[in-house]
Structure 1
Amino acid sequence: MSEINKLKILNDPIYGFISITNPLVYDLIQHPYFQRLRRISQMGMTYLVYPGAHHTRFHHALGCMHIMQKTVAVLRFKGVDISDEEENALCIAILLHDIGHGPFSHAMEHSIVENVSHESISLLFMDRLNEIFDGQLSLAIKIFRGQYHRKFMLQLISSQLDMDRMDYLKRDSFYSGVAEGNINSERLIQMLNVQDDMLVIEEKGIYSVEKFLVARRLMYWQAYLHKTSVAAELMLTKVLKRAKQLTQQGISLECSRPLKFFMENHISLEDFDNTILDTFSRLDDFDVISAIKEWQYHDDYVLAELCRMIINRDLPKIKLHAQKVSKEEVVRLRLQLMERTGLTEKDAAYFVYRGTIKNQAYNKKEEPIHILKKDGTIEDVAEASDQLNLKALSKPVTKYYLCYPKSLNF
């Protein structure tokens, strides 16, 4: 009986051919925990704004692994010593960095489970896979946790110029059609180097970094923080909040068993064991969408109306303001809705609400993007750049939103 060929070549619309050159990587991709990422959308509800944005976390993870392979090859060419074991660990760590995402990626983070980030759940999955694969992921986990002595390896996985950001900007720009988000990842990778155990960009690559940061800012305003995307994702979290509230009151809701489990139980990070992790691994976009399709006909007006609005893309009006929206304005709109529908003030809050969104392309307080100058000195990109707008990009911009049904008078 012939064995499966685990050395595969995949075709990707962004990079062309992606190679799986290691049997362990193949086995990890084939595992049900990872295959689940095919059913987790990369950009949440953004497809309601950009119809092409239906790509998944599976696409993104493979793309990250591919550019990690390219980066290791470039660094080795420049004399950076990276062993085969370290290369394998880097590829595994970036491949699995998003494995803990829940349905619709960021849209439902902290709501399926109680205040638990996807990074924490990713680590739980990695630890579990390490048990299944007899400790072969130990070095990858060590790098991912920042516990490995070679600091630049963590920067490749998690920093302000990491493989994650390089892939998602290029990929999300491609699928959404937002051309302003496109970056030259090939050029950025070619300019990478390591100095004093730090990841640096050679000075001649500074304009590519500037383009990268500008693209990131524009993608946030035009795609990730597009006001209609924000409104849809807020509605999605409110659907789950209402469903949880009704379930806690003993009202039975039709949905899949994994979703029902997380609605009936308050699960924190400390509660996760292998059984709960397996239950979480069976939860994806399809559970949520099928539940919403069913719940739009429920007797509870709030749940049914929220679900109907999502299914039919009858989204609320969302207005952005430079100043914080007054509480009085929110109360006025809620009273208007209460008069029309007979809702209580508490229930009206599901339809009229305010909040904030923030966009910061570059954070100087975090570990900076280091530019390696020709004289061997290292400088923060915001200082090294001759573009004044980079300093502006490092300042956070806050906008305030107000959501309310379109039928109300603002």
Structure 2
Amino acid sequence: MEKHLNIKDLNKVFNDPIHGHIELHPLLVKIIDTPQFQRLRNIKQLGGGYYVFPGASHNRFEHSIGVGHLAGELAKTLKLKQPELDISERDVLCVQIAGLCHDLGHGPFSHLFDGMFNPEADPEHKDWKHEDASLEMFDHLVLANGLAQEMERYGLILPTDLTFIKEMIKPLKSDDTEWLYEGRDENKSFLYEIVSNKQNGIDVDKFDYFARDCHHLGIRNNFDHQRFIMFARVCDVNGRKHICSRDKEVANLYDMFHTRNSLHRRAYQHRVTKSVEIMIKDALLKADHHILTKGSGGTTLCLSKAKTDMEVYTKLTDQVIERIFHPCSCSNEFTPSPLEEARMILQRIMSRDLYQFVGETKVCNQGWTGTKHLAQAFLVVTLDYGMKNKDPINTTYFYTKANPTEAFKIPREQVSKLLPVCFAEKILRVYCKNSASLRDAKFCFQRWCHENDFLTEVTLYSVRWQ
């Protein structure tokens, strides 16, 4: 394998605005140069956020390359500093591939597709997530482009390493008792914490999108992922190896999760962003059965069923709105009414005639019966530190300079008395689809909140963005 990895002429250098000049293994380049990966160029990283933040024009393509790069950097750092971990070049390459391919399954407008459109369009599969499609798309990518032979040529062992890569893309939920993975033995457990860390949420996926999203949004990023990688170390915890941080980094990690919460509050869950995304979702729902794509075996599938055929799904990107705006005119048939309604909704977005923000109120899980009596568009926004209402640092291990092999947890009272007590909140937001009835909608919402003992702040300004 070494003879392949040391051929520098085959590596490719990418000039990334976030990480600078990064060098990628030739196998990663072969994966990038496939239709299944190239489709990510046409899927916005922040979904409808681009219609609110003009700088947020970046796509899943560059984010995926960044995650692949950082995954390799963290794996290589651990390999260099702790040779006793027996991290092989094959391990590093698998980790890089997992980072590169972790978002292959995103649909149009990223989380809008699996988080908003799919549950309404396909209720029977409402729990389907883009990670499920990432696994299927990865298999499809390898098969359709004949990459299995290339992977073996660069030293990977199939099918074991394919299993390992997919397990890192979508890790299993484990309680640290029984080892459920097949790609690697338990002594390599720490490798599963690099790309998607189910232990505490500290992973290179977040490192890249924190830096990249802040850069394009014009928001300051206070977390230094390079410092985390520098101080990362693997320690044994109850017979299982975990990636640990220096004890002095605990406050910085709290800052990282605060940055995540801030990005959600200021950008991802921005009131106008969600208004735009509800409108895109409504347009996709109306166009669902009228935008058909031919897939494998000559089958033709609608938008909500495209996820069942990766050949169809490969053709499904943000450009679907262009198909709604400009339906096929090769026949003399009239445009179906639902498709025309979808086009009108999208036209409203372009002319900034958005759904109007009515109001919002904080809700709790107990005693809330929903919004059946609110005849408006509504959604529940969740703001947290990434692990629902749990403190992610409670499942994070640290080590000291004096004893770098012993892992331990740091009680929150030893960190600061200013830390949050609650780590999650839910906010119910209501939007009015017809601006002519905005005043009545606000009155109804206030009355509904009063009847259900919810506090509300009803704004008097429009969501129209200037």
What TM-score results when the alignment is normalised by the length of structure 2? 0.72
Separation of aligned partners in 2, 1:267 and 1:42:
20
Task: Write the mapping of 1:18-97 to structure 2, written as runs, cut at 5 A.
Answer: 18-20=22-24, 22-79=25-82, 80-97=85-102
Deviations 1:264-286 (A, max 9, x none): 77467xxx3xxx21111111111
Query: Structure 1: which 5+ runs fail to align?
Result: 248-252, 332-351
Alignment of 1:202 with 2:246, yes or no, is yes
Query: Residue 174 in 1 paired to residue 215 in 2?
Result: yes
Alpha-carbon distance, 1:85 to partner: 0.4
- For 1:97, give the aligned amino acid: H
Q: Distance in 2 between matches of 1:145 and 1:104?
A: 20
Structural mapping, 1:241-320, within 5 Å: 241-244=285-288, 247=289, 253=290, 261-263=300-302, 266=305, 272=308, 276-292=309-325, 299-300=337-338, 302-320=341-359
SS in 2 for 1:330: coil
Aligned to 2:277: 233
Deviations 1:359-387 (A, max 9, x none): 11143377823233455341157465225
The 3-state SS of whatever aligns with 1:195 is: strand
1:304 Cα deviation after fit = 4.1
- Kindly state the Cα deviation for residue 355 of structure 1 after the two structures are TM-superposed: 2.4
C-alpha separation in 2, matches of 1:283 and 1:5: 35
Out of 417, 423, 427, which is 1:395 matched to?
Answer: 423
Which secondary structure does the structure 2 equivalent of 1:45 belong to?
A: helix
> Which amino acid in structure 2 is aligned with residue 19 of structure 1?
E
Tell me the residue number matched to 1:322.
361
Structure 2, unaligned runs of 5 or more: 1-7, 149-157, 172-180, 329-334, 443-466
Change in Cα spacing, 1:370 to 1:309, as seen in structure 2 (3 Å) is farther
Name the CA distance, whole Å, in 2 between partners of 1:383 and 1:361.
18
2:177 equivalent in structure 1: none
State the 1:35 CA deviation: 0.9
Pick from 141, 144, 147 the counterpart of residue 133 of structure 1. 147
Partner Cα separation in structure 2 for residue 65 and residue 265 of structure 1? 29
Structure 1 range deviating more: 160-169 or 299-308: 299-308
**Alignment RMSD (CA, Å):** 3.0
**Match of residue 152 from structure 2:** none
Matched, 1:353 2:377: yes
- 1:379 corresponds to which of 394, 409, 413: 409
Query: Which of structure 1's runs of 4+ aligned residues deviate more than 6 A?
Result: none
Whether the 8 Å CA contact 1:370–1:378 is kept in 2: the answer is yes
Alpha carbons of structure 1 residues 384 and 165: separation in structure 2 relative to 1, 3 Å: farther
Which residue of structure 1 lines up, in the alignment, with residue 130 of structure 2?
118
The alpha-carbon deviation at position 41 of structure 1 amounts to 0.7
Aligned residues: percent identity? 24
Q: Match for residue 342 of structure 1?
A: none
Deviation for aligned residue 1:312: 2.1
Shift of 1:137: 3.4
Q: 2:193 aligns with which of 137, 147, 155?
A: 155
Give the TM-score of the pair, scaled to structure 1: 0.81
Q: Output the CA distance in 1 between the equivalents of 2:93 and 2:303.
A: 40
SS at match of 1:14: coil
